[in-house]
């Protein structure tokens, strides 16, 4: 069984950014694949960032109605809301791995949704945080994603407790 894939803001933005002639088609391929396989997951944090980025930071920006249509369409991906439980998980991740608060919330959201893979450019490609493998959608090809899942499946989630053996 293939696990859900958490998608960060940058993949959605690149799919809409015509100025990114190399990354736009790759981003669109990933999103098409995740739609077809019904594996895409995200968070309300990511959707908020997407809306602001495509309407205010792209040149030319996306029309707010078109951007909102994108956000509403992505509601079918069951975006996880930022609630008390996610804030607490994000804080634990931030302290354990020394990541930014925003990145920690994203990893926590991926964990809560049972995602084995997080597609983003914002974290170290190949890093694993609590069972979630981080990969750049521009270095991981679509045909390789199954191996990314199997690598996570065999990885131990926690180190053993107690004294180290001598």
- The residues spanned by each domain of the chain are 5-154
Residues with Cβ < 8 Å from 135, sequence gap 6 or more? Answer: 117, 118, 119, 125, 126, 148
0.95 cut: is pTM over it? Answer: no
Confidence of residue 164 (pLDDT cuts 50, 70, 90): low
Closest by CA to 100, choosing from 120, 74, 126, 75, is 120
pLDDT (0 to 100) of residue 87: 98
Confidence at residue 145, expressed as pLDDT on a 0 to 100 scale: 60
Mean pLDDT of the chain: 89
Tokens of 28: 């669109």
Statement: residue 151 has pLDDT above 50? no
Residue 123 DSSP code: S
Q: How far is residue 56 from each of residues 27, 61, 63, measured CA to CA in Å? A: 20, 6, 10
Please report the pLDDT score of residue 2 as a whole number. Answer: 83
pLDDT digits (tens, 9 = 90+) for 77-119: 999 999 999 999 999 999 999 999 999 999 999 999 999 999 9
Query: What pLDDT, on a 0 to 100 scale, did the predictor assign at position 156?
Result: 40
Predicted pLDDT at 157: 43
| Backbone phi and psi for residue 56, each to the nearest 5 degrees, phi listed first | -120, -20
Q: What is the pLDDT of residues 8-61, one digit of tens each?
A: 999 999 999 999 999 999 999 999 999 999 999 999 999 999 999 999 999 899
The whole-number pLDDT of residue 159 equals: 47
Determine the CATH number of domain 5-154.
3.40.50.1010
Taking the C-alpha atoms of residue 70 and residue 47, their distance in angstroms, rounded to an integer, is 9
Give tens-digit pLDDT for 54-66: 999 998 999 999 9
């Amino acid at each position: 069984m293939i696990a859900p894939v958490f998608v960060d803001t940058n993949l959605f933005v690149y799919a809409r950014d015509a100025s990114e002639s190399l990354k736009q088609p790759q981003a669109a391929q990933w999103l098409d694949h995740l739609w077809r396989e019904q594996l895409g997951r995200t968070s309300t944090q990511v959707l908020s960032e997407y809306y602001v980025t495509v309407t205010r930071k792209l040149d030319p920006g996306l029309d707010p109605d078109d951007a909102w249509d994108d956000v509403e369409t992505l509601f079918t991906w069951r975006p996880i809301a930022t609630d008390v439980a996610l804030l607490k998980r994000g804080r634990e991740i931030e302290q354990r791995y020394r990541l930014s608060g925003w990145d920690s919330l994203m990893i926590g959201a991926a964990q809560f949704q049972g995602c084995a893979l997080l597609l983003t450019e914002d974290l170290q490609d190949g890093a694993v945080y609590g069972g979630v493998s981080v990969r750049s959608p521009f270095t991981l090809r679509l045909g390789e994603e199954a191996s990314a899942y199997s690598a996570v499946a065999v990885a131990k989630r926690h180190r053993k407790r107690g004294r180290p053996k001598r």
